[in-house]
Structure 1
Amino acid sequence: MASIIVGILSGLAAVVIKNATHFIQLLLEGKLVNEYHTAFYFIFPIIGLFLVFAIVKYVLKFQPTQGIPATLFSISKRKGLMKQIQMYASLILAPITVGFGGSVGLEGPTVSTAAALSSNLSRLLHMNQATRTLLIGCAAAGAMSSIFKAPIAAIIFAIEVFSLDLTLVSLIPLLLASVAANLTSYLFFGSDVLLPFKISETFTIGDLPLYILLGVVAGFVSIYFTVVYDKIQQFFDGFTSPLKRLLIGAFGIGLLIYLIPPLYGEGFDLINNLVQGNPEKALQNSFFNIDPTNVWALIALLLGLVIFKVIASAITFGAGGVGGIFAPTLFMGSILGFCFAKIINTLSFLSNPVSESNFTLVGMTGLMAGVLHAPLTAIFLIAEVTGGYQLFLPLMITAAISFSLANYFVPHSVYAMELGRKGDLITHNKDHAVLTLMNVKSVIEKNFVTIYTEMTLGEIVHNAIIKSNRNIFPVLDRKTMQLQGIILLDDLRPIMFDQSLYNNVTAQELMKNPPAIINLEDDKMTVVMKKFQETSAWNLPVISENKYIGFVSKSKLLTAYRRKLIAFSGR
């Protein structure tokens, strides 16, 4: 029942965000730009981003992060708990960002909104962490199912991106949520779909080498997408002033969209034009006076869109806009596939021309697999929304090659890049996932008697050994409280009863270096476990800002791991 409710709420969130965005876009682009002047392409994104900035600062007083990364973070580090404000922040800000021309998508904000709704519903129903995580997955499946009317691909998306375990227990709620969201979408939109296209040209085995080559090209373009996106985000992160980020980003995206109008908004109109064989519509209102009948000029402009779309998207995010990168990925992939086929047909080295529509669809799959690291989602989404199941073989080949190539050079998707670098990412590896959910601070023990470097053997015996029930002692510098070494009780036993040494031997002479040190700021639980495995130690000291904090024992670590595994599995 909860999954059905989540599915309906996800569908409603998608309806609200989509309708609000299209209303704003139709009002602005359809009236002012077409009837007055294309200079509005420069003005609208700036106005939109300033509106988002004002609403965030003075109304919401909360800066929502990117939808899917924020949801992944809540699962990894917040036990699936999301703030109530996340239920409506993206609902307000995403339509303004995209409707005014921000070059991003609506899928991420829809998933984020639906995930926040499901998270707070699970809190209301007092559900445990495992069930809450599953409901968030149901929300993601529902959001994607409602947007694309692709219920099977939506379930696969939730499993791939959110690393859910596919069991019968989890499959039924995902199915129910996906179907409920899909029906909600039909209730409001009827049979309208984002990609209204049916495959008419079948796959021929002679095109197989070309699809392999397309997979390679898509893989390298995926790497370009990820690297450029990351670099631009790091550039904007370097500014401490939000206003400075806003000014640079807003004027940057305004200029880009004025020069290249197809970068305005999501870009699904251009995708549909390419799939239906009307690429010249991509040149409308262009700043550059290019003849659309010139094939090479057309290809050059379209490839320019591939190069600049990721830049426009990253700048939109850097300026404070709210959106997603799912739509930009489809946008770039469709152009890539179309241009690939167009170049082949123009060069005319084949006896029969290849299907430009089919390559457009497969290009979307290739880039989605490489950028999002979701090859199964990419395959089933394109196949499901277009009825292109006869393209399954090229879809699989291109997605597999693109994903493998991108994954080799960039181990994490755009969604998971920052979390992956920090070691905070949940993966399908259950052992790694459980360790990621654990917190190092929760297993630190502080009931160790400390020894200072200048203490004599006699002082150690009377002030430490007699008073402690542990067999390991940290040795600290008395002034700085920094860890200098450790002393084991086994090392003291041969001399601890020799009173002639009580005043002659100091802790500095007796101590030794620990087999490894745990840094509280830098070491995640996966690293901590690896240090225990490599050193075979039973206790390891913990430092924070170079000062001694306590010890982590292997026994407590394994006990905490077992408890977290039980909670994670929901058993």
Structure 2
Amino acid sequence: MSRARFLPSCGVGILHHSEHPSERTTSFPEAELPRRTSPPLGGILRGLARAENRFWGLVVAVGLISGLGAVVLLKVLRFTQHLFWRSEVEGFLAGVIASPPWRRFLVPVLGGALVSLMTLLVGQPLRGHGTAGIIESIWVKAGRLSLLRALFRGFVSIIAVALGAPLGREGALLSTGAASGSALAHRLRLPSGQARLLVACGAAAGIASAYNAPIGAALFGLEVLLGSFALELFGPIVVSCVVATLVSRAFVADRPIYVIPHYVLTHPRELMLALLLGVLMGAASALYVRGINLLSDSLARAPDWLQPFLPLVAMSLVGLAAIWLPYLLGNGYDSVNAALLGKMPLLLLAMLPLAKLLATSLCAGAGVPGGLFTPSLFYGALLGGAFGAGVGVLWPGGAPSGAYALLGMVAVLAGTTHASVSSVLLIFEMTADYDLILPLMLCAVISAVVSRWLEPESLYTSVLNRRNVRMPATVPQWLREEGARALLKPVEQRINPSAPFQEVVVLLLEQPPGADLYVTDSQGRLLGVIVLDALKGHLPDHTLLEATVAADVMDVNVPVITPSFSLAEVARSFGKTTLERLPVVDRDRRLLGTVSKSDVLQRGQF
């Protein structure tokens, strides 16, 4: 089932999946038709063209606004970093390390004080990394986002990251782009489907401009935000990402985010290590998601009077840790670059990921606004680098640690977002190293599978679940549909048709509530069902009780289910009876088990 069905028709390129172009009409008052100087069909076609042109113009405008907004925010980031750390963005870590200990402590404290002050001014916490809110806006709120709040929150986020918050800069760019799409859509009173799509276009454009990655950002918008690769969605997302990337390249930089050596992983031993790394990174991804959620939930339960001051407390603790571990400050770009180049010591590679996870979770849960995308790259790159460095010590002569750092990046990104396709292309575009594409794909898929097995919710859907927001399924209906076999429970008690009535009564009374007694022959074939309630008022003559057997009181007309029944067919079978359970039999009528009505209600999609 494609989740693209919410889209209304807005031109030739965007249609309902169930709507054929030939079925589309435009309504005009009949009284006005004779006054037209052109044929009605020509007027309809021109109207469609105008609607289509307007929408595509808005797609371009959203990309342009997102790109320009990213340029402005990145300029603010660099200016603030240079002002407080005496460094440009490329040398942020060098500036932090060169700073005296008092500055490493006081500058983050200043950032926390700023966030606390802004929280008091707006009267509500600024916590959250934005992506979950955008997904909720698209699917629940008809694409509605507050532009003023997004701009305010984005500006505070950029300043906080520049002052040392261990979060990502992409949060501000993504939310600003999404809010601009929402504002344009609702200003022009577009249908909710077009508004939702423009929000996704703006968010994807923000990612594209942040990382100079238009392909990966477009697929991120489709895979994570919209949950569909439908062709009708692809065009607008791509156009917005391309426009935003062109603007970013013109004013910021036209090169990959990470410039790395030429790495190759082709030896069978290295591919086996990549498989192992994918499994380990899947577990690490689940730990990342749970760590973020655990601290967020814990801090959300703090007293209301304390909530505005949590950012100050969290940033003070991060500043204190930065006296000894300056690598924790900022989004971690320089540390990731060092890991990719193989220039970071093994001790730091092993120690920093958990320290960064703790610092990021603390600040995100305390209400410091920022992204979790870049910190996850830090976490994955350093864990992968530690794996590669450890392998190099135990098994010399293999690939350098930087190659495994790259695999760790994509594996954690795929594991935390549950979006393997966009993760691979984002990392590929950030590094421009195509030769590692096969190990990247392998690691991403394995990590996503392991992470989903250990932690079913992604970094984004876990936030939505805490808000009681349920997302539509992203897999096809035919693939996720469950049948009777998935709900089958074994039968613990059967009875022979010749069993005396006294034994029948004893066994019935021993059954749990809602359970019945199944009569089977010597080969396990179902002959009938004995229901306790059905016996009331229908007992045989008391003088004949000693001669009564199970076959005399069983119901042979109870509906039966086969393992091939779909969930809908099972539900229809329950509609024919008042029983809480129905027997499941094979083609020879051998009893396989039962299905309960409560399981059907819990698993069904209604």
TM-score (norm 1): 0.69
1:335 and 2:382 aligned: yes
Aligned counterpart in structure 2 of residue 308 of structure 1, from 355, 372, 378: 355
The alpha-carbon deviation at position 315 of structure 1 amounts to 1.1
CA distance 1:430–1:535, change in 2 (3 Å): farther
The alpha-carbon deviation at position 58 of structure 1 amounts to 2.1
Q: What's the counterpart of residue 27 of structure 1?
A: 83
Contact 1:215 1:399 in 2 (8 A): yes
Distance between the aligned counterparts of 2:105 and 2:411, measured in 1?
32
The alpha-carbon deviation at position 206 of structure 1 amounts to 3.3
| Secondary structure at 1:53 match in 2 | helix
Which amino acid in 1 is paired with 2:370?
Answer: G
The alpha-carbon deviation at position 228 of structure 1 amounts to 1.4
Q: What's the counterpart of residue 91 of structure 1?
A: 154
Distance between the aligned counterparts of 2:470 and 2:244, measured in 1?
27
Aligned counterpart in structure 2 of residue 388 of structure 1, from 429, 433, 453: 433
Distance between the aligned counterparts of 1:76 and 1:229, measured in 2?
23
* Deviation per residue, 1:102-137 (Å, 9 max, x gap): 000011221111111101111112111211111111
CA distance 1:33–1:375, change in 2 (3 Å): closer
The alpha-carbon deviation at position 2 of structure 1 amounts to 1.1
Aligned counterpart in structure 2 of residue 367 of structure 1, from 412, 415, 427: 412
CA distance 1:342–1:122, change in 2 (3 Å): same
Q: What's the counterpart of residue 453 of structure 2?
A: 408
The alpha-carbon deviation at position 319 of structure 1 amounts to 2.6
Aligned counterpart in structure 1 of residue 318 of structure 2, from 253, 256, 269: 253
Distance between the aligned counterparts of 1:96 and 1:141, measured in 2?
22
Distance between the aligned counterparts of 2:261 and 2:190, measured in 1?
43
Q: What's the counterpart of residue 505 of structure 2?
A: none
Distance between the aligned counterparts of 1:407 and 1:83, measured in 2?
32
Q: Which moved more, 1:141-150 or 1:322-331?
A: 141-150
The alpha-carbon deviation at position 10 of structure 1 amounts to 1.3
Q: What's the counterpart of residue 332 of structure 2?
A: 267
Which amino acid in 2 is paired with 1:167?
Answer: A
| Secondary structure at 1:259 match in 2 | coil
Q: What's the counterpart of residue 366 of structure 2?
A: 319
Distance between the aligned counterparts of 1:247 and 1:308, measured in 2?
19
Aligned counterpart in structure 1 of residue 288 of structure 2, from 215, 225, 228: 225
Q: What's the counterpart of residue 471 of structure 2?
A: 426
The alpha-carbon deviation at position 277 of structure 1 amounts to 2.7
* Deviation per residue, 1:67-87 (Å, 9 max, x gap): 111112222321111123233
Distance between the aligned counterparts of 1:346 and 1:51, measured in 2?
45
Contact 2:328 2:352 in 1 (8 A): yes
Alignment of 1:43-442 (within 5 A): 43-58=106-121, 63=126, 65-197=128-260, 199-201=262-264, 203-240=266-303, 241-279=306-344, 298-347=345-394, 349-350=395-396, 352-429=397-474
Q: What's the counterpart of residue 3 of structure 1?
A: 59
Q: What's the counterpart of residue 523 of structure 1?
A: none
The alpha-carbon deviation at position 381 of structure 1 amounts to 1.2
Distance between the aligned counterparts of 1:81 and 1:216, measured in 2?
39
Distance between the aligned counterparts of 2:75 and 2:440, measured in 1?
31
Q: What's the counterpart of residue 439 of structure 1?
A: none
* Deviation per residue, 1:147-197 (Å, 9 max, x gap): 111111011111121134323321111111011011010110132442123
Distance between the aligned counterparts of 1:84 and 1:192, measured in 2?
30
What is the aligned residue count? 424
- Which structure is larger by alpha-carbon Rg, 1 or 2? 2
The alpha-carbon deviation at position 428 of structure 1 amounts to 4.7
Contact 1:163 1:426 in 2 (8 A): no
Alignment of 1:552-567 (within 5 A): none
CA distance 1:387–1:270, change in 2 (3 Å): same
| Secondary structure at 2:457 match in 1 | coil
CA distance 1:418–1:202, change in 2 (3 Å): closer
Q: What's the counterpart of residue 38 of structure 1?
A: 101
Contact 2:147 2:176 in 1 (8 A): no
Contact 2:126 2:368 in 1 (8 A): no
Distance between the aligned counterparts of 2:312 and 2:105, measured in 1?
13
Distance between the aligned counterparts of 2:426 and 2:97, measured in 1?
33
Q: Which moved more, 1:30-39 or 1:257-266?
A: 30-39
Distance between the aligned counterparts of 2:333 and 2:253, measured in 1?
18
Extract unaligned runs of 5+ from structure 1: 280-297, 433-528, 538-560, 563-571
CA distance 1:247–1:24, change in 2 (3 Å): closer
Which amino acid in 1 is paired with 2:423?
Answer: A
Distance between the aligned counterparts of 1:35 and 1:421, measured in 2?
42
Which amino acid in 2 is paired with 1:49?
Answer: G
Distance between the aligned counterparts of 2:475 and 2:278, measured in 1?
30
The alpha-carbon deviation at position 22 of structure 1 amounts to 2.3
| Secondary structure at 2:323 match in 1 | helix
Distance between the aligned counterparts of 1:34 and 1:354, measured in 2?
30
CA distance 1:35–1:224, change in 2 (3 Å): closer
Contact 1:45 1:101 in 2 (8 A): yes
Which amino acid in 1 is paired with 2:177?
Answer: A
Percent sequence identity is: 28
Contact 2:150 2:176 in 1 (8 A): yes
CA distance 1:35–1:371, change in 2 (3 Å): closer
The alpha-carbon deviation at position 30 of structure 1 amounts to 2.8
| Secondary structure at 1:88 match in 2 | helix
Q: What's the counterpart of residue 443 of structure 1?
A: none
The alpha-carbon deviation at position 212 of structure 1 amounts to 0.5
The alpha-carbon deviation at position 19 of structure 1 amounts to 2.0
CA distance 1:153–1:373, change in 2 (3 Å): same
